[in-house]
Amino acid sequence: SVSKTETKMGSKGIMTFYPTVEEFKNFSRYIAYIESQGAHKAGLAKIVPPKEWKPRSSYDNIDDLVIPAPIQQFVTGQSGLFTQYNIQKKALTVKEFRKLANSDKFCSPHYDDFDELERKYWKNVTFNPPIYGADVNGSLYDPWNICHLNTILDTVEHESGITIEGVNTPYLYFGMWKTTFAWHTEDMDLYSINYLHFGEPKSWYCIPPEHGKRFERLAQGFFPGSSQICEAFLRHKMTLISPSILKKYGIPFDKITQEAGEFMITFPYAYHAGFNHGFNCAESTNFATERWIEYGKQAVLCSCRKDMVKISMDVFVKKFQPERYENWLAGQDVVPINHARPTPEAKEFLKESWNDAPSKGSVADGCAADGERKRWVAPSRIETKRHRVCLEVPDDVVSKSDEDEEHYGKRPRLNLIPPRAPSQDVRRTKGLTCFCLGCAEVTLFPVSSQKKVSFHLVCRSVQSYTLEKQQQQQQPAPHTQLQVHSYAREHQPRQLPSRPSAAAAHALPLTTSQAASGETPSEDKHALSTVVLNESQPILQFVPHPHISETLPLLVDTHLDVEPEQEEKEEWAKPLTWLWQCRPFNPQAEREYNKSMGQQAPYCSICVLFRTHQVATSQCVTLVNHPGGRQWSKPLIPEMCFNTQTSKMTEGGEGQLSNPHLAEDGTSRLVSCRQCSVRVHASCYGVSGGEEELDNWLCARCEANAITEDCCLCSLRGGALQRANGDKWVHVLCAITVLEARFVNVMERAPVDLSAIPLPRFRLKCVYCRKRMKRLKGCCVQCSHGRCSTAFHPSCAQAAGVLMHPDDWPFNVFATCHRHRTPPITEASMRDLAVGQRVICKHKNGRYYNSEVQELSPTTFYEVVFDDGSYSDNLFPEDIENRDCVRLGPPAKGDIVQVRWTDGLIYGAKFVTSHIIPMYLVEFEDGSQISVKREDIYSLDESLPKRVKSRMSVASDMRFELFAEDDVKQTSKRQRVINSRYREDYIEPVIYRAIME
């Protein structure tokens, strides 16, 4: 009877079930029963099998089982938000893996209870990347097999003959301490069953399905860059969010520990994650009930990879929902999902007892009833559900040595201030005394490059501060010497008038002499005299810091120098002629600039930060007209860009990633300042009020009658400004881009706290305006690519067309300088080549030489998806071993093929399609020939990329023969003498050649 089944509650809402031997025989029926008890509401349930049941008599004979593709899990991030990269390692046997897992390097730490172990996990998740023996095809069950569950998912296999590895076939997982499965739902939002065969426990976190959408919105807010690339980026299994972050943002979750010999069941659309406590072995697969069909129909799938699991729902709808089949095919069958409702199979337990219901078959019987089903079709395999193996990994993720224990940061950047000791624990407090910083060479006490230092253009007291504890990134410190280059001629010019109107040109409120003497027009009480230091009226009382000089100002910029007028030669800068802060204030020019920017997409002077990215990705920003001539559009700035401090809490005690100024369709009202004409989204600027009030809106600077105040972080006027600390003003655009700037009131986007910006940021020179400004001014950011030191003001970079787009937390903006923005040559721009034409091509020695096209021949390439989830699209027909493709042609789409790879080994794969690509036979001056694609050849009149120019060579008789030699005597070459200035940048030739190979 039902009473025989004992039920217990795990942590919070996760239920634990203890079935009898009889109940345990019918898996599908027991799943229906636990749903009748409400187990599915938590998204996760534990089933402890009866003591009489044993999955396997012994595990002693599995030592020689091969783990073909173990993965090393590198985790980057901090403050509870992490990204996991999986790097494939060489194959290991279970015996070798066990020895590795129990070694001193990878073994579990000492702990008294699971709570202590959990704290150690999240504290050390970025250190010493473990190795996970994941996605091993096979099963360790004897008679009872996890692949014979007889659920409706078997409909796919029995009626269509399709096998999906790891979905309706089992996978084995060999874990060690700290190996992790990141937040995800199952493929197609299926159920899953996980059995821990032996070893150390496994910790699970789970979010109830009814809160899944909230969790997705939170993840999209923290990782907007990943979200824009792929809507279903959580399916990549690369995102880790700690329980502390979930608590802070009000996302309900439960946690439970799975011991050896226990089953865990995950339910449809239940986000779950977890980690292993030590060496163990688990087995899992997916299954389904009738309740899942609706989830499968509405599952949001990954669109950025070719090898993600996708199951056609037609067969399920036709069999189990025949009355809705026509609507489903027409795309009109959309029904809201009730996450609390149990599966239809559970109705017998809501009305009848366990024994009264007829049995649907025994799990132990396996597939005994297969003969009564339709004829078995030869099984075929489709896309796998393996862990996402990273083909491109950030430079800072993989350590140089496996023995090094490093703290892997997300992205290497210039270390502006020496990193503090990790044990330092200092927190920012309010209302402390202040000290004055000097502009001389001053060594501050060690702080992180992400901590903040107050900045003022004039000698004012700087608010004292202490530092907030964060995890520090241990990464190689790049060289501090700046290598800046001007690429302005390549920039996209703005479609603005090159100069202000005649009236604007004469509407200068100050002359040079007035600026120098501090005289201001009488109508503006906030004019330029405010920038002259008045020692008799200190802004803040300060206490001298014992290690910093009292007498020197932070920046000596007490008056404005008007630059001699020069003709602007660069197109992008022509519209900005009268907007540079070194020029006299010109309100008419600023109004014209603001008005012009508000009339072109994205129609907001803050969203314009991502305008170049919007154009590059062909995103369409459309205006939505509302009654009264009011206009709305969708902002480009994610909310996370304003809310960067996860360690801070709102007054309500919970984090906030929503915005009340956004409509349900994601649009926001566009408002224009009636005085300076700046146009912004209400959500981007934090504007609130009724419709009538917004029609006569004043921006914060105009409302404060501070129209002559400029942004203290850059060298340009115009745009939307907000008040910052220390009576300063700052562009909202600049505050978003500078990582250490913080919006104190996130909803109002003001004031902006600049006190944590490290002082070396202000010493960086902007590559775009340094020749236009006499003095070093503002705060620069750097290119986000590796160790690139190119620095620029956010506003200058935006005007110059630098590609910037939202990045994943904690980096708000990913900037790509023009050195790294080298778009590939499009097929449309590549002209056909003729036989006999002189071209430039890459020789086998790695350098580029002049050559000649000898022959053009169309070549057939095959595209396949391998069993490990990787794919190739440049296989030759003769690479297929189990079919004579040269004579018979390509296999049918979906056919299983055997591919001989370049290493001589044969791999299983699934055929996708064939491509016919023209190939060019090119002959070099030494007589050698090579067959290449069109994109690998450059005609003499094409512009060459920088990487090609740097490796161009001229083939002289002697030098070219040496390059072609297999054996080159190293001693015959004269030793290079390295310039001591660049000694640290020098790469040894042997290493260089290895990299090139």
User: Which of 603, 793, 775 minimizes the C-alpha distance to 714?
Assistant: 793
Q: How far apart are CA 245 and CA 914, in angstroms?
A: 47
171 is catalytic: no
Candidates 40, 211, 272, 277; catalytic one:
272
Q: How far apart are CA 684 and CA 659, in angstroms?
A: 9
593 close to 599: Cβ distance less than 8 angstroms: no
Q: How far apart are CA 408 and CA 588, in angstroms?
A: 50
Position 483: which residue type? Q
In the block, tokens 């305008």 appear at 611
Candidates 158, 184, 197, 456; catalytic one:
184
Torsion 98-103-109-112 (CA) sign:
positive
User: Which of 390, 476, 478 minimizes the C-alpha distance to 129?
Assistant: 390
166 close to 237: Cβ distance less than 8 angstroms: no
CA distances 822 to 30, 487, 818, 883, Å, are 58, 12, 7, 41
173 is catalytic: yes
User: Which of 883, 886, 864, 885 minimizes the C-alpha distance to 873?
Assistant: 864
Which run of H or of E encompasses 212?
helix 212-222
Q: How far apart are CA 19 and CA 23, in angstroms?
A: 6
272 is catalytic: yes
Residues β-bridged to residue 856: 920
Close Cβ partners of 112 (under 8 Å, ≥ 6 residues apart): none
Q: Under the phi-then-psi rule, with left for phi > 0, alpha for psi from -120 to 50, and beta for the rest, what region is 836?
A: left
Distance of CA 18 to the CA centre of its chain: 42
Candidates 166, 175, 409, 686; catalytic one:
166
CA distances 30 to 11, 355, 359, 367, Å, are 22, 12, 11, 18
Candidates 192, 242, 284, 683; catalytic one:
284
Q: How far apart are CA 777 and CA 560, in angstroms?
A: 11
User: Which of 355, 362, 346 minimizes the C-alpha distance to 26?
Assistant: 362
Position 941: which residue type? D
> To the nearest 5 percent, what fractions of the chain are helix, strand and coil?
25, 20, 55
DSSP state of 765: P
184 is catalytic: yes
Candidates 35, 165, 186, 200; catalytic one:
186
Distance of CA 383 to the CA centre of its chain: 24
The number of CA neighbours under 13 Å toward the Cβ of 269 is: 24
CA distances 471 to 61, 709, 753, 772, 869, Å, are 44, 37, 21, 39, 34
Close Cβ partners of 301 (under 8 Å, ≥ 6 residues apart): 188, 232, 235, 308, 310
Close Cβ partners of 562 (under 8 Å, ≥ 6 residues apart): 512, 515, 582, 583, 584
Please give the backbone phi and psi of residue 975, each rounded to the nearest 5 degrees, phi first: -70, 130
275 close to 258: Cβ distance less than 8 angstroms: no
**What is the DSSP secondary-structure string of 78-110?**
ETTEEEEEEEE---EEHHHHHHHHTSTTTSPPP
What distance, in Å, lies between the first and last C-alpha atoms of the chain?
A: 69
Give the β-pairing of 180-184 and 271-276: antiparallel
Close Cβ partners of 320 (under 8 Å, ≥ 6 residues apart): 152, 290, 293
Active centre residues (catalytic): 166, 173, 184, 186, 272, 284
